[in-house]
């Protein structure tokens, strides 16, 4: 069904390839709308398999969604890794982070769009999974922030509060970039978030945690 140029494939390889095709087809099909509006048969048609073959890989659209959550957060963790690297290399943390953000969103527009949408509109279990993953990101970022200059007097709570704000802004920016096609509008978005983070950082440098 799936045409390979040549080369014999093991059964496991073929299965994996079909699985990938299902994941990709799903990302493409729900690029606008949502998982909850997606039918198993649409996915099957897009992949080029018969509807029932879907069950060989996932037992529902919902569990397919959970697999996509994992995959999408791999992309997001990649982003975090890059941000961390840029934070060391670059003098200006803000610019480095935003560049990394834009770069990763461009590369995996599908993943970031998926998270943005299903985070609020997906099936309950998918929403919960995304919520959990985002909390992990916030915690991870909080420990990174603790290593930065000037936060040595901060309480753990305040660190997490700040981390959560960064993640909120990050998610909102990713959302905006995903949902715009025009490059000049994207520059606008980037310029805006850059200023916003600078305003915020001024506050951060002055902040002293209470008792």
Interaction site with DNA (CB under 7 A): 1-2, 8, 10-12, 14-15, 18, 39-42, 48-57, 60-61
Euclidean distance between CA atoms 190 and 64, whole angstroms: 33
Q: Which of 120, 152, 153, 184 binds a copy of itself (CB under 8 A)?
A: 120
Nearer to a copy of itself, 3 or 152 (CB): 152
**Partner in contact with 104, chosen from a copy of itself, DNA, none, beta carbon below 5 to 8 Å by kind:** none
Candidates 42, 46, 125, 179; binder of a copy of itself (CB under 8 A) is 179
Write b or e for each residue in 154-174: b if 16 or more Cβ atoms lie within 10 A of its Cβ, otherwise e.
Answer: beeebbbebbbebbeebbebb
Binding at 51: pick from DNA, a copy of itself, none (beta carbon under 5-8 Å per type): DNA
Distance of CA 177 to the CA centre of its chain: 12
Residue 204 lies near a copy of itself (rule: CB under 8 A): yes
Which of 61/68 has CB closer to DNA?
61
Q: Which stretch binds a copy of itself (CB under 8 A): 6-14, 48-56, 145-153, 202-210?
A: 202-210
- Of the candidate spans 27-35, 62-70, 76-84, 95-103, the one that interacts with a copy of itself by CB under 8 A turns out to be 27-35
Q: Which is nearer to DNA, 31 or 50 (CB)?
A: 50
Contacted entry of a copy of itself, DNA, none for residue 50, CB cut-off 5 to 8 Å set by kind: DNA
Binding site for a copy of itself (CB under 8 A): 32-34, 36-37, 116-117, 119-121, 123-124, 127, 158, 161-162, 164-165, 168-169, 171-172, 175, 179, 192, 195-196, 198-204, 206-207
């Amino acid at each position: 069904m799936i045409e390979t140029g040549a080369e014999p494939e093991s059964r496991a390889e073929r299965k994996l390839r079909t699985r990938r095709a299902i994941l990709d087809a799903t990302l493409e099909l729900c690029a606008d709308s949502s998982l909850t509006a997606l039918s198993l048969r649409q996915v099957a048609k897009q992949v080029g398999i018969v509807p029932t073959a879907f069950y060989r890989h996932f037992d529902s659209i919902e569990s397919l969604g959970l697999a996509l959550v994992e995959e999408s957060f791999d992309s997001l963790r990649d982003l975090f890794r890059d941000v961390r690297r840029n934070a060391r290399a670059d003098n200006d943390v803000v610019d480095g982070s935003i560049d990394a953000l834009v770069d990763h969103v461009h590369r995996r527009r599908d993943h970031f769009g998926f998270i943005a949408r299903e985070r609020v509109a997906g099936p309950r279990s998918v929403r919960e999974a995304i919520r959990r993953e985002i909390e992990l990101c916030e915690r991870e970022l909080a420990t990174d922030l603790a290593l930065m200059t000037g936060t040595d007097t901060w309480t753990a709570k305040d660190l997490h509060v700040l981390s959560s704000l960064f993640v909120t802004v990050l998610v909102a920016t990713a959302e905006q970039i995903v949902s715009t096609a025009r490059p000049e509008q994207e520059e606008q978005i980037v310029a805006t978030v850059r200023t916003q983070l600078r305003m915020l950082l001024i506050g951060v440098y002055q902040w002293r945690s209470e008792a």
